[in-house]
Amino acid sequence: MELLTSHRDERTMPAPHIMLRAAVQPQRRFRRILRGRPVRTVLVVDDDEGTRLTVSLILQQAGWSVSVADCGQSALSVIRELHPDVVLLDLRLPDMSGIDLLRKLSPADRQGTRIVLMTGFGTMRVGIEAYGLGAYDCVEKPLFESDLIRIVEKAFHTRVTSGGERFRRWAIAMTAVINSGRDVRTISEWGALISVSPETLREWCRTAQLRPKPSLDLARGVRAWRLALQRGLPAVTFLDAADRRTVERLVHMVGLVEPLPVSLEVLFRRQTFIRNDVALAELRSRLESGAS
What whole-number distance in Å separates Cα of residue 6 and Cα of residue 40? 28
Beta bridge partners of 231: none
The per-residue pLDDT for 54 is 93
Q: Which residues contact 16 (CB under 8 A, 6 or more apart)?
A: 53
**Cβ contact 143:150 at 8 Å:** no
Q: What is the pLDDT along the chain (292 residues), one digit of tens a residue?
A: 555 543 344 334 443 333 333 333 433 333 333 344 456 899 999 999 999 999 999 999 999 999 999 999 999 999 998 889 899 999 999 999 999 999 999 877 887 789 999 987 766 778 888 887 888 888 888 888 989 999 999 888 874 444 556 688 898 899 999 999 999 999 999 999 888 888 888 888 887 889 999 999 999 999 999 999 999 999 999 998 777 788 888 999 999 988 999 999 999 999 999 988 888 988 998 888 776 5
Entry pTM: 0.57
Q: Among candidates 152, 205, 113, 58, which has minimal Cα distance to 139? A: 152
DSSP string, 8-44: --GGGSPPHHHHHHHH------TT-EETTEEPEEEEE
My answer on whether 144 and 193 are in the same domain is no
Q: What's the domain range around 85?
A: 2-158
Of 136, 158, 180, the last residue of a domain is: 158
| CATH number, domain with residue 44 | 3.40.50.2300
What whole-number distance in Å separates Cα of residue 54 and Cα of residue 147? 14
Of 138, 158, 178, the last residue of a domain is: 158
Q: Which residues contact 20 (CB under 8 A, 6 or more apart)?
A: 53
Of 111, 139, 158, the last residue of a domain is: 158
What whole-number distance in Å separates Cα of residue 86 and Cα of residue 1? 21
